[in-house]
Amino acid sequence: MEPYTYTFPIWVEFGTDSSEQVGDIAATKGWEKALVVTDPGIVEAGLIDGITGSLSAAGIDYAIYDGVEPNPTVAMVEAAVDALEAEGCDVIVAVGGGSSMDVGKTASTMATNPGSVADYEVVTADDVEAGRIENHSVPLVTVPTTAGTGSEVDFWSVITDTDREFKMALGQPPLYPGGPYLGATVSLVDPALTASLPPRQTAATGFDAFSHALENYVSAVSPPMVKPMARAVTERVAAYLPRAYHEGDMEAREHMMFAAHLAGMGENLAGFGAIHSLAEVTGGMYPEIPHGEAIAIFTPAVMEYNRDAVPGLYRDVAAWLGEDVSGMSDEAASRRAVEAVEALIDEVDLPGGLGEVGVDEADLPAIAEKSMDTSEIHDNPRGADADDLLEIARESY
């Protein structure tokens, strides 16, 4: 294997009330005015109060952009950049799920780099290595309010181009030490902010975190260090996602927060696969479908498709999910992995098919075709063409 270099520039604080350190950190950094990027539900639920209170206590001014919606668009990024400039802010504090964090991340980059969001779309590995983000982004603090996307710590964002009904992947790790990148300067990971997350979103976002570990582990470009990370994520999801969903207690939520965060780090090391290709495309065409639900719908059929290519890796996944696979062939153990994932989906009442979430069956060929244009499909462990993906989409209906 090629030597693997990895630069990890983000300062992370993990723990209950960590989000309330933002004021002290901003004062230490010399930031003067923060733009809080979030959605109206977060404001209404009072989840930014501790953050804005800490900014005020530290003498840091702030403004709020709360126009983020699920499956966020280029227009939302542009509105956040406009707000940043109009308010004279010098730091963005992105508070929310993946949508708010991705708008904040992308706005922080677009504020200092020329062109439009689409200019930074990533489809192939070459697009990442091209290093098109040349200027350092505006300082960014990410504060997740779901245990799911890992966006607080990864070097990716996903923004919908509404003209194409397509979710663009944007991404850039620091390509050399100190180099510009797309991502947080500081991440404040505060499990207390997930305490009021409704069960359905707890399930969907938690399953998304699992899918990151799963796809990262089996991806065609997975370095060895992903394995212990994927194991830690998967074991926690198996132990704590059902509990976070059914009981919602803080211990379960803390473990899920850690799992999601760790999976986000994994996203910086390895690729994704057909699950994310199909789910992102579906989310671009049906913005009302939450990302984690689309992920859960496609996961069993994609696993079944990939099983022949990576039976030994799925054997590990089955074991991490708590299945006894000793004495089984890899073939049987990999089938057990698919069954265990289906059982997890049932356990947390996630939707089992595209029909259940309102996808028109006539759109399946378009979903398959468009998925071939995503960056994720290149890293799926088994090669797939549009016909293969159409078959998977039909299985997932």
Binding site for Fe ion (CB under 5 A): 208
Choice between 208 and 316, CB closer to Fe ion: 208
Q: How far is the CB of 58 from Fe ion (least distance, A)?
A: 34
Q: How far is the CB of 370 from Fe ion (least distance, A)?
A: 17
Q: How far is the CB of 335 from Fe ion (least distance, A)?
A: 24
Q: How far is the CB of 272 from Fe ion (least distance, A)?
A: 8
Choice between 83 and 229, CB closer to Fe ion: 229
Choice between 190 and 208, CB closer to Fe ion: 208
Beta-bridge mates of residue 168: 159
Beta-bridge mates of residue 188: 13
Question: What is the distance between the alpha carbons of residues 359 and 100, in angstroms, rounded to a whole number?
Answer: 25
* Residues near 22 by beta carbon (within 8 Å), at least 6 away in sequence: 34, 51, 54, 55, 93, 141, 143, 186, 188
Q: How far is the CB of 147 from Fe ion (least distance, A)?
A: 12
Residue 78 structure tokens: 């542009």
Pairs from 244-248 (Cβ < 8 Å, separation ≥ 24): 244/147, 244/202, 244/206, 245/199, 245/202, 245/203, 245/206, 245/347, 245/348, 245/349, 246/199, 248/195, 248/197, 248/199, 248/202
Q: How far is the CB of 167 from Fe ion (least distance, A)?
A: 11
Q: Output the residue with the shortest Cβ distance to Fe ion.
A: 208
Q: How far is the CB of 122 from Fe ion (least distance, A)?
A: 15
Longest dimension (CA), the chain: 65
Choice between 52 and 268, CB closer to Fe ion: 268
Contact 219, 263 (CB under 8 A): no
Nearest to 201 by CA among 14, 349, 18, 341: 349
Question: What is the distance between the alpha carbons of residues 74 and 71, in angstroms, rounded to a whole number?
Answer: 10
Choice between 102 and 208, CB closer to Fe ion: 208
Handedness of CA 177, 4, 312, 219 (dihedral sign): positive
Q: How far is the CB of 208 from Fe ion (least distance, A)?
A: 4
Q: Tell the burial category of 239 from Cβ atoms under 10 Å away from its Cβ (0-12, 13-18, 19+).
A: middle
Q: How far is the CB of 304 from Fe ion (least distance, A)?
A: 19
Choice between 20 and 208, CB closer to Fe ion: 208
Choice between 31 and 156, CB closer to Fe ion: 156
Handedness of CA 272, 339, 315, 350 (dihedral sign): positive
Q: How far is the CB of 268 from Fe ion (least distance, A)?
A: 14
Q: How far is the CB of 211 from Fe ion (least distance, A)?
A: 6
Residue 235 structure tokens: 């074991």
Helices then strands, counting H and E runs in the chain, come out as 15, 8
Choice between 172 and 299, CB closer to Fe ion: 299
Choice between 50 and 97, CB closer to Fe ion: 97
Choice between 208 and 254, CB closer to Fe ion: 208
Sheet holding 186-189, edge to edge: 11-14, 186-189, 140-144, 91-96, 33-37, 61-65
Question: What is the distance between the alpha carbons of residues 316 and 222, in angstroms, rounded to a whole number?
Answer: 15
Choice between 65 and 245, CB closer to Fe ion: 245
Handedness of CA 276, 280, 286, 289 (dihedral sign): positive
